[in-house]
Amino acid sequence: MIMLTPTVTATGEIGDSGPVEFIPTLREDAEQPATTDLSMRLEISLEDATAALWLALRDGLELSALDDEHLVHEMVLEKLLAEGGNAIATARDEMHHQKPGTHEARTTHALRTITTLLYGTAKTPRTSGTTRGGTISTLDVGRER
């Protein structure tokens, strides 16, 4: 009989999010216990964060779920770790090739709005008042009308 190790959470930070717990996919239902820690500092672009959210949507997450600021942070961290740089690069490319006026193009715009609100632009922290109580108020940009 195989004994599975309980799923552990990781803690990360993105921008000025503060600590964010998420489930690192590589540890889900792992047969062996974790034996060491990994820590790194990784600079990412707004498009990298947007691509991570694009992957989350492609995997079935609803756009409306990203109204929750904490979930946005969690999804960016989880997708960056779970999917890796190659998948993020491919997702960036997919986003750039959406035809204007399509649902996908509007969704891409909405995701870019979210990442800009949360993570600022080019090393500029977001301004206060861009979210209310952990809820992103401008998400309707990408929704179907």
- Residues counted in the chain: 145
**Per-residue pLDDT tens for 2-26?**
444 455 778 888 888 888 888 777 7
Mean pLDDT of the chain: 80
**Per-residue pLDDT tens for 25-36?**
776 777 877 777
What integer pLDDT is reported at residue 103 of this predicted model? 95
Exposure string (b/e) for 9-33, b if CB count within 10 Å is 16 or more? ebebebeebeebebebeebeeeeee
Report yes or no: 63 and 109 within 8 Å, Cβ to Cβ.
no
Q: In this model, does residue 51 exceed pLDDT 90? A: yes
Q: Where are the domains of the chain?
A: 10-30+44-142
